[in-house]
Each structure stands twice: as C-alpha cells, then as structure tokens.
Chains A and B, each alone.
Chain A
Amino acid sequence: MKTILIVEDNEMNRDMLTRRLERKGYAVVCAVDGPDGIEKAAQVLPSIILMDVALGEMDGWEATTAIRANAATAHIPVIALTAHALETDRQRSIAVGCIDFETKPIVLPQLLEKIEQHAL
C-alpha cells in the first residue's frame, strides 16, 4: 500500500483529503505545518508528499527545499498544492524541486492520476 504524506495546515481540508484518499486505498499520514512535514517525511519516508504551499511561518516551498536538502528524503516526490492559480506559483514550485503542481479545489481524479504517475 502506498503511503501519502499530506502537509496541510487547514484542518477541514486535511480531514477531507485524508478521507477521500483513504477511500481510494492509500495510507495517509498528516503534518500540520512545514517543520512537522519535514520531520514526518524523514520518519515515515512516504511514497509521495502532497505539500500545501501556504503554511504559515515556514511555507510549503521552504519545507520542500528542506526535504530536498536531506539525503534521506531527497528522493521523495512532492506535489505542490496551492489555492493560487498563478503561473508564477507553478514555476516557483518546480524551481524548489516539486515534481508537479495542483490547484485547489482539488479535482480528485486529476490528483489521483498524478499520484499514480509519480509515487514511489
């Protein structure tokens, strides 16, 4: 079973995405902010990380940069999730090492396709 790490600070979005992904047969681990995400990524070594970009003090791009910088987690693919539908956000996400980019609200079939494409 593939394990997905969701890094999301909004409780409702975290809960909703967890339940929808679990219904599709994935194991889901959640982190509530950037530092928590970095720590959980190293502990769990998930198949893929869904990283919200707007996370408070440490944003998703900084967290991704830290995950990429750690040799133990550098190989884990990260998909950036953002409520901004801006091309600059997509470009920045790719620049910091995200493998793909999805805008909120999530279109689940599209996200599932990307998870299947990139997950380890």
Chain B
Amino acid sequence: MTKTASGKAGNAAAGETGKRFNLNRLLDRFIPQEIQVRPEAHRRARMFMLSHIAGPIIGNTLPLYMVTMGLVRDYRAVVFFVSILLFWAYPLALKRTGRYQLLAFLSVQNLIFCVLWACFAFGGVNSPFLSWVLIFPLLAFLYLPPRGWIRNLLLGQMFGSLGVFLAMYTLGYRFPAIDIRTLETIGMISTAAVSVYFAMMALYFARMLHEQREFTTEINSLISTSDNLRSLTAAANQASAAKANFVASMSHELRTPLNAILGYSQMLLEEAHEEQDEAMAKDLGHIHKSGSDLLRIIDDILDYSRIEAGKMPVNPTFDSWGKHIGAWDAQIATYVIDARRMRWIGNRQDHDLTHVTDWTALGSTVRHLIIGILTQNEDGCVDVTVSRQPDQHALVIKVQDTAPDGEVRPIPISPEVFVHVDDATASKYGGTGIEIALSLKFAQLLGGDIQSVTLADGSPATLLTVPDLAVARQLAA
C-alpha cells in the first residue's frame, strides 16, 4: 500500500510533465527503494537530492568567479571550491549505502564548514558569504525528521559554530586580510545565489506539499471507493444468499405437489400395466416422464444456485474412475430415452485411474455434460474417454459427438442457461438448457474447466479437465 502510494505521487508528477524532463524521476534515481516506500522519508530524501544536485552548481559560481576575475587565486578559493564540489558525492553515497541519516548529518557538517570557511577566509563578519549561514537551519529542517537527537545536535552545533565565529570577532581575532571593496560584486552575486537557492528549495517544498495534498485526496477517494466496493460486495453476497434461500424454498414448494403427481402417476401406471391397458399406461408414462423431467430441472436449478452462492460443499476422496462409471451410466439412462447413444471408450487400465476429487460432484459434471449433449442433439453418438494429463495432476475426460454419417461435430459450451439463439447452431441444438452450464459450474467447483478444442487429427472435441485436489492443495501450500 505504502509503495503504491509513494509511486502514485511520483506518477502524478510524471503525468504533469509527460515525456518532458521529470525532476522527481531524476531525484529518485539516487534514492534507494527502501526509502522510497516510506512517504515521509521519501519527501525528505528528495529535498536532500535536489539540494545536493543543484546546490554545487549555484554555490560554485562564487569561487569560480573569484578565481576567474583574479580576486583570489590561492588555497582559500581551492578549499572553498572543493568543499562545495564535495556535495555531489552525497547522492552517489546514498545510492550505494542507503544510510540517509548519517549522510544528512555529514552533509550539514560539510555545509557548516564550507560557509564558515568562506566567511573566515573572505572578510569575517563583513564577508559577502555571511547570508549563506541562513541555510543551516533551513536544511536541518528539510533533511531531518521533525524530532530526534541528530537534529538537535546539528542545531546546537550550528549555533555553537556561529557563536565561536562571533566570539572570535568580538575578542579581536584577526581574520585573513582582504580588501572588502574587491568583494562588492561577488557580494551581490552571493546574495543572488543564496536567493536562487532559497527560492529553489521553497518552490520544490511547495510543490511537494501540493503533491501531498493531491495524494491525500486520492487516498481518501480510494478509501471511499473501497468502502463502497465492500458494501456492494456485502449487498451482492446478501442478494446471492437470498437468491439461494429463495431457490431452496421454491424447490421445496414445487417438490411437494410434484411428489403427488409422480406418486399417483406411478401408482396408476402400475395398475394400468396390471390391467393390461397399454394406451392408458402410455399416457400415464408421459405424465410420469414429464414430472421426472421437471424434478430434474428443479434439482439442477437448486445445484446451480448453491454453487453460485458458494454453498455447495466439496468433499474430496481418493478413488478410481472405474468404480463410479456404473452408477453414472445408470443415472444417465434414467434421464435419456436412448442411453445407447453414449459409449464409454476405454479399457480396464483406464478404469484403474485413481484421483483425489469429490466424486459425487465429478459424477454430476460428467452426467450433466453428457445429458446436455444428448438432449440437445437428436441423433448420433457421444463417446467418452478418460486419460491422465502428462503432468499427472489432472484427469482429462474427452467427449466427442459423432453424427450418424460419421462426422464428429463441435459441441457448443456456454455458461448461459435457458437461452435460445437463432443461428445455425440453434437449429441443430435447439438452444441451451441448464445441463452444460451446470456441468461447467461443477467443473469449476472442482477447480477444473470444460473447453472446446480441435485435436491433432483436426476433429473437434470437448475436454473436461479436473485437477487432483490433493496435488492442487500441496501446490497452493
């Protein structure tokens, strides 16, 4: 969060300048990541960097002018020049060591030396460089945290040094001789330079305050959005739970009369068979079949709703594929008129394939997929083959729909339920029911998926992939 936030402030600045020169990006190049992730420290480090990159350019105009103009050409100017030039070493040292506090402390020491040396060497209390003394406390405030012993020590040292300097003057110490009149021009340049330096630091500080305000506004907006999202998620969860409860209640209300319809029709069907009234038995059979279909749809809607509401439990067990085929086959046979249109392709070895999954849910996945295809397609045959993925982590159940003329047809896989579409596919399949969408839901519940693919021989196929839940959990851990 903090890292993102800090980056956001930088990005805001980047956005302002676009592809133009970006000062913050230049400053950040020397600031270690561990400092950039702390907004307050990052702000101070940027001030430190700006001061150390631009400061020597402004400051060195003074000794360079004096040497160029022949005012002073001895060790005093060299010490002054080198002590200013030394500030360029600090950004590199920070990038290399990351020791910000120590470097900030040393930098202020450097500054104190530099300014007091210039005052000492060029005019004492009359020195044109005396105004630079003002930046001591400014930098101590900008570089260092608002509290802490290092800052207190620095402030004490600054005023102490200044006190010593003034005491030397008061006690009549003789500063190196210099003709003050020769320093009039450099005095003006010095005042201008210190003003430029002050303005630069103040402007950058103001800009950072502005960015900070924008950043705070953005954070507040994000918090507000996050709160809204949380309440929307809670409302959605509530709605989902309400829908699941509604579907469960509806299921109960529908099952009660359906119980009577199925029970009476079954009873009358038995009587009709006993009395050998086949015409009546056929009609009663239709009533019973329609009631059974309705019951299956109710069960499917209930399962779909439970999975959507996250209320469908998954109970993985270790078992073999072959152990379940018989039961699934019988279940499919109760739902489709001609179950012979489905073939389990494979041998004994495939039946011995073992896997950790919720086998009841896997049965529902396979059953709904096959019933979905068989009920949508009026003829042809559905072939089901099982294998294990090369990495051994998943079972792959391949389903292919073959037309009577031998053509293998693509199977439309859609997450939509009860949608009828007017296109070539719909004329063949009559739209989508709930079976395939529910099969997809069950597959996803088991961490798997159903996908339409084209095999190496060019034939279309539908692959149901189900991961081994024990392996999946190990990988997740």
Do these two chains interact?
Answer: yes
> A interface vs B, CB < 8 Å?
10, 12-13, 16-17, 19-20, 23, 54, 83-87, 103-106, 108
B86 at the interface (CB under 8 A from A): no
Q: Which residues of B contact A19 (CB under 8 A)?
A: 267
Segment at the interface with A among B93-101, B256-264, B395-403: B256-264
Select from chain A the residue with minimum beta-carbon distance to B334.
Answer: A107
Q: How far is the CB of B195 from chain A (nearest CB, A)?
A: 79
Q: How far is the CB of A18 from chain B (nearest CB, A)?
A: 10
**Given the interface contacts A85-B299, A87-B313, does A105 sit within 8 Å of B248 by beta carbon?**
no
Partner of A10 from the list B251, B256, B295, B299 (CB cut-off 8 Å) is B256
Q: Would B295 and A105 count as touching, CB distance under 8 A?
A: yes
**Given the interface contacts A83-B252, A85-B302, A105-B295, does A16 sit within 8 Å of B260 by beta carbon?**
yes
Q: Which residues of B contact A20 (CB under 8 A)?
A: 263, 266-267
B255 at the interface (CB under 8 A from A): yes
B270 at the interface (CB under 8 A from A): yes
Q: Which residues of A contact B295 (CB under 8 A)?
A: 105
Q: Which residues of A contact B251 (CB under 8 A)?
A: 83-85
Q: Which residues of B contact A84 (CB under 8 A)?
A: 248, 251-252
Q: Which residues of B contact A106 (CB under 8 A)?
A: 259, 262-263
Docked CA distance A104–B253 (Å): 11
Sorted nearest first, the 4 A-B pairs with minimum C-beta distance are A83-B255, A16-B263, A105-B259, A105-B262
Docked CA distance A103–B248 (Å): 14
Select from chain B the residue with minimum beta-carbon distance to A108.
Answer: B266
Q: Would A13 and B260 count as touching, CB distance under 8 A?
A: yes
Docked CA distance A104–B256 (Å): 7
Most buried by A among B263, B270, B313: B263
Q: Would A105 and B263 count as touching, CB distance under 8 A?
A: yes
Q: How far is the CB of B273 from chain A (nearest CB, A)?
A: 12
Given contacts A16-B264, A84-B251, A87-B313, 5 further A-B contacts (CB under 8 A): A19-B267, A23-B270, A105-B262, A105-B263, A106-B262
- Bitwise, B366-404 to A at CB < 8 A (1) or not (0) is 000000000000000000000000000000000000000
- 21 A–B contacts, CB within 8 A, in A order: A10-B259, A12-B260, A13-B256, A16-B259, A16-B260, A17-B263, A54-B252, A83-B251, A83-B252, A83-B255, A83-B259, A84-B251, A84-B252, A85-B299, A85-B302, A87-B313, A103-B255, A105-B255, A105-B263, A106-B263, A108-B266
Q: How far is the CB of B75 from chain A (nearest CB, A)?
A: 93
Docked CA distance A85–B256 (Å): 12
Q: How far is the CB of B263 from chain A (nearest CB, A)?
A: 4
Q: Which residues of B contact A16 (CB under 8 A)?
A: 259-260, 263-264, 267
Select from chain B the residue with minimum beta-carbon distance to A11.
Answer: B260
Q: How far is the CB of B250 from chain A (nearest CB, A)?
A: 11
Docked CA distance A108–B313 (Å): 28
Q: Which residues of A contact B264 (CB under 8 A)?
A: 12, 16
Q: Which residues of B contact A86 (CB under 8 A)?
A: 248
Q: How far is the CB of A30 from chain B (nearest CB, A)?
A: 15
Q: Which residues of A contact B299 (CB under 8 A)?
A: 85
Q: Would A23 and B267 count as touching, CB distance under 8 A?
A: yes
Q: How far is the CB of A26 from chain B (nearest CB, A)?
A: 14
Docked CA distance A83–B263 (Å): 14
Q: Which residues of B contact A12 (CB under 8 A)?
A: 260, 264
Q: Which residues of B contact A10 (CB under 8 A)?
A: 256, 259-260
Docked CA distance A106–B262 (Å): 8
Q: Which residues of A contact B258 (CB under 8 A)?
A: 104-105
Docked CA distance A16–B267 (Å): 8
- Bitwise, B92-120 to A at CB < 8 A (1) or not (0) is 00000000000000000000000000000
Q: How far is the CB of B307 from chain A (nearest CB, A)?
A: 14
Select from chain B the residue with minimum beta-carbon distance to A54.
Answer: B252
Docked CA distance A94–B313 (Å): 18
Q: Which residues of A contact B255 (CB under 8 A)?
A: 83, 85, 103-105
Most buried by A among B264, B299, B302: B264
Docked CA distance A110–B251 (Å): 21
